[in-house]
Amino acid sequence: MSMFQVFNISGSAVSAQSQRLNVVASNLANADTVAGPDGSAYKARQVVFQTELMGAAGAAGVRVSTVSESDAAGRRVHDPKHPSADAEGYVTFSNVNAVEEMVNMISASRSYQNNVEVMNTAKVLLQKTLQLGS
């Protein structure tokens, strides 16, 4: 019964999207983190999605293959009074771009909703199939 596989497929997508949402949350939480004593601040993270084949032909779920770190330069602000300022008076913040993260968050939440709706429809159709002939 291939309809049951819809739950595996959409379930994998939902968990991948929630992991993406998690990463966005960490990025936003660390948007204003300054560099520590080692001079490197928090680096923005991104999940990388990959198709995961699920047995039968055409059944393809999703999984997060890696979480990559952005190597863009951190935001540098001139603030000599800041305790973490370097010798030239600059403070290095994390390289998180808050606007990008918000866009990412909305995209992840929409995809999540889509997959939940797919599962709901599959559930309704399966229930009707179970009542067949009654």
Partner 1 sequence: MINRLTDTLNFQAEALVLRSERQRLIASNIANADTPGYVARDMDFATALRQATGQAGTPGRLAATAPGHLSPPAGARGEAGLRYAAASQTNLDRNTVDMDRERASFADNSVKYEATLRFINGSVRTMLDAIKGQSS
Within its chain, how far is the Cα of 98 from the centroid? Answer: 14
Does 1 interact with partner 1 (rule: CB under 8 A)? yes
N-terminal to C-terminal alpha carbon distance within the chain: 20
Where do the H-state alpha helices sit in the chain? 5-29, 98-130
Binding test (CB under 8 A) with partner 1, winner from 25, 60, 72, 102:
60
Tokens of 92: 């290095």
Binding test (CB under 8 A) with partner 1, winner from 50, 66, 82, 98:
50
Within its chain, how far is the Cα of 101 from the centroid? Answer: 10
Please count the residues of this chain forming the interface with partner 1, following the rule CB under 8 A.
35
Residue 133 CB, nearest approach to partner 1 (Å): 4
Does 59 interact with partner 1 (rule: CB under 8 A)? yes
Considering only residues 63 through 122, tell me which ones interact with partner 1, judged by CB under 8 A: 107-108, 111, 114-115, 118, 121-122
